[in-house]
Structure 1
């Protein structure tokens, strides 16, 4: 039996050089590429028109949102992008990689769980959260256990992605 790679959309706000979010996103994208069984689709919201998002999410088996935390929440452009997709989020697993603030962005991830619950998505419990001091100047995590944490999240995401992909193929998600 051939196992098809899981199409993983990694949605980020901006990949401009010199930004902490860019370092986090690029590191996580490398982790996805090192993991077995994924085909990466990196979506930079500063470049990709919002009108393209529904089709890319529809084609995906899973998604990871890379987001900053601002004022204990996520940025407005992330919410605009999520809301522009709507139905393609149904029965899709979603993970979070967040950064910023004292919580390392985890308050943004927790706020996003509520949004994705309303969109009938399945959120992965284990999120990744970072502060700027958690990365070296060259864009690598300081803590040697960070890649293992990313791997655990990706394995959970893959499990859900396979189960939900098969379920959607067998029976359309009820409205």
Structure 2
């Protein structure tokens, strides 16, 4: 039996050089690319045309959102992008990589969980949170905190389980809208 790789949409609002989100996104993309069970689709919201975003999310089996904490939540342009897609999020697992603020971005993840639950997506429990931005990554783009790579592996293992289960469920029984 052939097992098709799971498409994971890695969604970030900008991959401009010098931005912290760029370092976190590049590192996590490397973690995904080392695996046989995922195929990466990097979606940079700063350059992705809005009309193609829905198609790319529809084609994905799962998503990982990279976001800073902004005013105890996440940036407005990310909210606009998420809301513009709507139906393609249904019955898809979503994970979060967050950073910034005193909470290391965890308040952004809390808010994102609420939004994605309302969109009938399945936010998974595991979240990668980065404190002490930007010093939490080395000059070589690796996390300073011990165990971060193991945490990413756990996140991807759980994301793969949900993505496979939900992909199979969507194929046999369309999600009721």
TM-score range, shorter chain: over 0.9
Q: How does 1:72-91 map to 2 (within 5 A)?
A: 72-91=72-91
CA–CA separation in structure 2 for the residues paired with 1:167 and 1:83: 24
Q: CA offset at residue 149 of structure 1? A: 0.1
Structure 1 runs of 4+ with >4 Å offset:
none
Q: For residue 51 of structure 1, report the CA deviation from its aligned partner.
A: 1.3
Contact 1:63–1:93 under 8 Å retained in 2? yes
- Separation (CA, whole Å) in 1 of partners of 2:35 and 2:130: 20
Contact 1:35/1:151 (8 A) holds in 2: no
Partner of 2:147: 145
Find the aligned partners of 2:160 and 2:115 in 1 and give their Cα distance. 21
Q: How does 1:63-142 map to 2 (within 5 A)?
A: 63-131=63-131, 132=133, 133-142=135-144
Partner of 1:36: 36
Query: Once the 2 structures are TM-superposed, how far is the Cα of residue 52 of structure 1 from its aligned partner?
Result: 0.8
**Matched residues in 2 for 1:159 and 1:48: separation?**
28
Q: TM-score, normalised by structure 1?
A: 0.98
Deviations 1:71-130 (A, max 9, x none): 110000100100010000000000000111111111101100000010000011010010
Aligned to 2:12: 12
Structure 2: distance between partners of 1:50 and 1:83? 11
Give structure 1 stretches of 5+ with no counterpart: none
How many equivalent pairs are there?
175
Cα RMSD (Å): 0.8
Deviations 1:38-85 (A, max 9, x none): 000000001001111110010000000001101110000100100010
1:144 positional shift: 2.7
TM-score by length of 2: 0.97
Distance 2:31 2:103 in 1: 22
